[in-house]
Structure 1
């Protein structure tokens, strides 16, 4: 009896140890993925386009954690020795920093079945250990179609005809930074000298010709209740405003534009890399990309994705996307604090 009890105790101990090992930090169940999300409408649409169908097809559970890009990077850095997430989405170029810090696992293009169908911008970062671009939303000028003719230049927000009807976005918002960089470029500045852009916006706001918004919801409120007619912002949000009943158009200025490149990144040190890679590949499929178009008004990175007729005039797609300016994420990250200081000095003085 004593021998039988001893053997039972050993078996229970081994089982408990195995259970603890399976749940220990840095590992994950083979049937669960932990992925980040941007929350709100993005999460709702991404769940419908990728998460639910992927769960059903692969008999897995996808746990979503709401983290904006800078917070997601901070979490990865804090968890470096014991990562808790499998896939991280970035929209501001943070994948460059994460890859250099060894926080990401490189993805072999051969592991992505959709790689041959993607635009070159989507896979350009794989060689550097970064994840592929799964969504693109170009920057442009949002404008009230019942108040303003279609704008043609990044200088149009400074037209005296639009005084007190323009909104710029704070640099704490990545769209605000990208909009400022395009205005800066149109006024002769460079990524190493953003004074022309920041000074122009600062002078406009100090004169009472424009307001500053911080978030997407602030901008929506400005169009709905503050008589705003024009704002540098993103393609996807123009559609959000239209769905909210606002008569808003989206124009790409003649000087060209940049965009927000959303990447899906494989976290290093996790046990579910094969399943996580499959999840990323699913997000790159033509079917998922088509849902990004109709649900979020994002530009598809899969060339086989079909853009519905009613969306073709609302989004950029195809070869045009290859012409988007993509500012160096490292330069943006490295200069962010200095730009913010310069911005605050101009906006608040």
Structure 2
């Protein structure tokens, strides 16, 4: 029988993604341990002003039973955590806090797994240097496309394959809205339907401006080519009222309008987001509703395409689970 090790985790953030992470591990922890040789145990959960420490298998108590939040150093020491998982919002207001906590963990030899994007854009070099100095790892699948494993491809799977371009529709809200516009809906109607279906957030401006798609491609390019995201210029075309006319016009030509984020080694440190009429045969044209896809252009190996992946709190939580297993599970033989 396979030997199973234990990986204690400190989770930062207990919103929809954090709760989905805890719930999935509670539901599938035994199966994951048997399959991957590591039992992931949430030893502590931290929120903005409070935290709770958990015994193995203990459910997260109501917030009223939590204690005041201790310094992260103390929580990591008390739990002997191997992994620090971040599931806090990717907001400018929390950028410095997210970076500081990730650096604290890395400098103590604790791996970092994050779905939070903001500090990756501003502190990439600092995080990388801290991880290398302490022999730790950072995994960011949840920040590059939730359950879509594009980050894994950029980081390792395309090594030596000569990838020179990235074309992506990594934002499901933009794709969904453009498809509704193509059907003749107004922009306001399309956004309302996206919200009703749980695809769009209350404020979809980051999705429709191209900022979110650009962020994800900045991170993919950083993994693939070593770019520092903080130095990358972004030129983005938004999904706006003009798209209400362009989307039906594209359909009339057997094409589909897509918000395509792209980067190329021939244009270092530049990410573009453009509304493109995609033609039959283009993997980005084939997307339906909130689906996502990334096309890695490899001139000698041929294009490598990854698509699908759930855009939801559960999808992001599954990416956190996958990355946590990846940094803690034994690596021998075919594994």
Alignment TM-score, normalising by the size of structure 2? 0.31
The structure that is strand-richer by fraction is 2
Give 1 or 2 for the bigger CA radius of gyration.
1
- Larger RCO (CA within 8 A; separation ≥ 6): 1
Alignment TM-score, normalising by the size of structure 1? 0.30
